[in-house]
Structure 1
Amino acid sequence: MALFRNAKRPLKIFLYNSFSTGTNHTNGYSTWVSRGSPISQSSDIKGLFTIKYGNPKPVFGLISRQFSDQAPAGTEQMNLIKQLRERTSAPIKDVKLALVDCNWDIEAAQKELRKRGKVLASKKSSRTATEGLLALAQSEGKAAVIELNCETDFVARNEIFQYLALSLAKQALLVENSSQQASGLCPVGADYLQDLQLNLEHPKISGEMTVHNAITEVAAMMGENVKLRRGFVMSASLPGVASTYLHTSPQPGLGRIAGILTLEVEDKISQLDALQRVGSELAMHVVAAKPLFLTKELVSSDALANEREILKSQAESTGKSQMAVEKMVEGRLRKYYEEVVLMEQKFIMNDSLTVKTLVDNLSKEVGSAVKIGSFFRMEVGEGIQRLESSNEDEPVAQAA
């Protein structure tokens, strides 16, 4: 006991000296008490601390209060991290770092993350993005489709990415381009769409912003290169219809392959349901059969000459006469037309009919001449390597 009592006074001296030299240093010395001054003369310290033998809790209580003033408690920190991650979808490590740097101010941290994200997005903008989705929006006699690319299929399945893609398609549908023809396929360039305003209402990305800024925000959230690659609008001359089909569709309006087709009629008809039904079936046919041309007359001379040369070389290898070779070439050209010309193809839902026969039957059903005005097929990522080398990014499209 005597030893314990004798140890109390040195502890008191140690604690006073520790605090007297640990705050407000000038040249390494405390401004409260000059170095070497007796503890008994330090009235300022005595007024701030009351140390009772065996009860140093007030001192350590002050220490804990100093730390608690600098950062919220652990539970509150976790709540802030959770809230900020829900707001931004940023990686949890980046969320925590931003909160720490901003003294746990969630609004400032969110702003900081957005700044960092934009820098990150610009650094990743040169990376090839071959995945993504096609988004489609439609109104009476008109359809718009855009391609929004990302680097991985994982991001393409993200709800924020999908929401943005659908918003871009709706914006493209509103575009009025008076310089283009009234019907048919009209490209809507990504450069043109970049500066248009979007009004977003998703919990994690909302407000009015340009298309460019919205894409940058989503790229920052996803941590990948996100790119609006291209857009197209197809219009039908009224009273016709624009019909669409999306393949590999995670939700309505989204897919990886799109087929769009217009059906035009000479006279106003009452059986629009029949027109829409057959139009939807033909749009599906376009996706499955991959036609390159609408009619035989529209097959390009270059494509025909190239195919004829290949077929002639194959026929001559049989060793038959020149007359026989010519007949073989013509017979195989008919087969080529059946493969690449929409009107000559066998209908995928009933191979006893050609598409031409199907359209003729529809004309009889609705009581007015019906024709396919134009069609096109587009697939995510097609031609990206070719685009980098020759800037060719047009989908397969044909118009009468």
Structure 2
Amino acid sequence: MADAAHPVAAPERDFGVYIHVPFCAVRCGYCDFNTYAPGEGEFSSRDDYVGAALAEMGTARRAMAGDPRPARTVFFGGGTPTMLDPAALVAMLDGVRDTWGLTADAEVTTEANPDSVTRESLTMLAQAGFTRVSFGMQSAVPHVLATLERTHRPENVGRAVTWAREAGLAVSLDLIYGTPGESLADWHASLDAAIALEPDHISAYALVIEPGTRMGRQLKRGEIEAVDLDTQADMYEAADERLAAAGFAWYEVSNWAREPGQRCRHNVAYWTSQDWWGVGPGAHSYLGPRTDADGTEHGAERWWNVKLPRAYAARLAAGEDPAAEREPLTASDLALESVMLRLRLVDGMPVADLPEPRPGQIASLVADGVLDGRAAIAGVLRLTLRGRLLADAAVRLLT
């Protein structure tokens, strides 16, 4: 692990903290995240987890000694962070304060399931410095929630949003479209229900059925049928149309906010290659090019922790580095990743920032309606609505 004599991050970049809480009440059939339900072999105690997370922050304090940047964003993800007692989440946020400090305007988000919070727990989080909650709504249609194996009832979402508003928290809702058996009418109903709750922010993600998940095995056995790509495209276009009519503006391919100030600053930091430290089993971290105290320059680096909670806790208890692997990143790596990430944003990216000139490819993408032609003439690569559906293909052509 790095110490005070090792690289510290460049102060001109923002710094954020991600805290991975790997616990869920049940494992949803589509989930391939690093999460563990009760009874699964690597479900370490929640108390042990909190202690391990705080211990990792201690190693981070030593690794980043000399770097004065406080965290501008903190994001508790998972899993279901609100499965932990709110006092545990507050303790970890206090750990962030003690390790790095927080900016005066810090955005502090926790993900939550609608049935994993109470009025009291949300109030406690708000009083401790949390500013935002992102609820996993996913759908407002019971049969779609059942297919996704979500445990909450649709009416729980409105109740949770009300409690969050009373606590003074900004509210985001996460939706999933393209669930097997979900019709376009079902998706419209979910969009309308989410909009009616008047959140500040909505995310909408196409369901990807991964082979190793329970849903993937059901698909392979023919027990369910995947929604075709054309229908998923129709669902995305319906989301953009309905959300725009309700006053939401897209700022990233899968994210819409009522106002620029209500965008998720933590995720924007990922897409714009800011620095972050990921705490917890399986969490990823990234520090860009940085300099030693003696002036020695070092390149960018990414690393990720061991995935299993027990192994993560055991390493930290033994005073060992929890990182499973580290990856140095070249200037070429960073340039390619920048295209992949920035092109997804509403502001797009300057043509001049491409790793290599691509005039022919740009012209082709404009002709195909993937890139905005006027923006391209002005030197900016910006996706059209059609382009958002084909963003990955556009990146491949441009890199």
TM superposition score normalised by structure 1: 0.21
More helix by share: 1
**Based on CA coordinates, which of the two structures has the bigger radius of gyration?**
1
Please, what TM-score do these two structures have when normalized by structure 2? 0.21
Higher relative contact order (CA 8 A, sep 6+): 2
